Chain A
Amino acid sequence: MVNPVRQVFRFYYEGFKDMKLGRTLWLIILIKLFILFFILKLFFFPDFLNSRFKSDSQKSEYVGTQLTRHRVP
Chain B
Amino acid sequence: MDASDLSLVDLSRAQFALTAMYHWLFVPLTLGLGVIISIMETLYYKTGDTEWKRITQFWMKLFGINFAIGVATGIILEFEFGTNWSNYSWFVGDIFGAPLAIEGILAFFMESTFIAVMFFGWNKVSKSFHLASTWLTVIGATLSALWILAANAWMQYPDGMTFNPDTMRNEMTDFWSVLLSPVAINKFTHTVFSGWIVGAAFCLGVSAWFLLKKKEKNLSYKSIRIAALFGFLGAFLTALTGDGSAQQVAQRQPMKLAAMEGLYEGKTEAGMVAFGVLNPAKQTYNDTISPFLVKIEIPGLLSLLSFRETGAFVPGITNLMDGGFIKKINGAQDTALSSDEKMIRGKLAIQALSDYKQARKDSHDSLANVHKATLNTYYQHFGYGFVPSKDTLVPPVPLVFYAFHIMITLGIFFLGLFLLTGFLTWKDRLHKQRWLLWIAILGIPLAWICSESGWIVAEVGRQPWVIQDIMPTYAAVSDLKPGSVLITFVLFAILFTVLLIAEVGIMLRQIRKGPEEVH
| Residues on A facing B (Cβ under 8 Å) | 11-12, 14-16, 18, 21-22, 24-26, 28-29, 32-33, 35-36, 40-41, 44-50, 56, 59-60, 63-64, 66-68, 70-72
Contact = CB atoms under 8 A, between A and B. Distances in A.
Given A25-B68, A45-B80, A15 B119 contact: yes
A29 B68 contact: yes
Interface of A is mostly: helix
Interface residues of B, number: 55
Interface in B409-454: none
Contact of B87 (A44, A56, A67): A67
Contact of B347 (A26, A32, A71): A71
Contact of B83 (A48, A56, A63, A71): A48
B108 interface: no
Given A28-B69, A36-B76, A64 B385 contact: no
Interface of B: 1, 61, 64-65, 68-69, 71-72, 75-76, 79-80, 82-84, 86-87, 89-91, 116, 119-121, 124, 165-169, 343, 347, 350-351, 353-354, 357, 385-388, 474-475, 478-480, 484, 487-488, 491, 495, 499, 502, 506, 510
B16 to A, nearest CB: 13
B387 A72 contact: yes
Given A12-B116, A49-B86, 15 more contacts: A15-B120, A15-B121, A21-B65, A29-B68, A29-B72, A32-B72, A44-B484, A47-B86, A48-B478, A60-B169, A63-B168, A64-B165, A67-B87, A67-B350, A67-B353
Given A70-B474, A72-B385, A64 B353 contact: yes
In the A-B complex, list the 7 residue pairs whose CB atoms are closest, starting with the nearest.
Answer: A15-B120, A48-B86, A25-B68, A45-B79, A47-B82, A60-B168, A71-B350
B83 A36 contact: no
Nearest to A41: B79
Given A24-B506, A59-B90, A48 B480 contact: yes
Contacts of A60: 90, 166-169
Contacts of B75: 36
B491 A44 contact: yes
A4 to B, nearest CB: 13
Nearest to A18: B120
12 contacts: A11-B121, A14-B124, A28-B502, A29-B71, A36-B76, A36-B79, A56-B167, A63-B86, A64-B165, A67-B91, A67-B475, A71-B386
A22 B119 contact: yes
B102 to A, nearest CB: 20
B350 A68 contact: yes
A28 B68 contact: yes
A63 B91 contact: yes
A53 to B, nearest CB: 10
Contacts of B79: 36, 40-41, 45
Nearest to A60: B168
Contacts of B84: 48
Contacts of A22: 64, 119
A28 B144 CA distance: 23
Nearest to B61: A21
B257 to A, nearest CB: 26
B491 A40 contact: yes
Contact of B168 (A33, A44, A64): A64
Contacts of A40: 76, 79, 488, 491, 495
B310 to A, nearest CB: 40
B168 A12 contact: no
A18 B123 CA distance: 13
A18 B124 CA distance: 13
Contacts of B480: 48
Nearest to A8: B116
B2 to A, nearest CB: 12
A44 B487 contact: yes
Nearest to A35: B495
Contacts of B488: 40, 44-45
Given A45-B83, A48-B83, A49-B86, A70 B386 contact: yes
A16 B221 CA distance: 33
Contacts of B124: 11, 14
Q: Among the interface residues B68, B72, B91, B119, which one has the most CB atoms of the partner chain A within 10 A?
A: B68
Contact of A12 (B120, B475, B510): B120
Nearest to A37: B75
Contacts of B479: 66
B87 A45 contact: no
Nearest to A72: B388
B87 A66 contact: yes
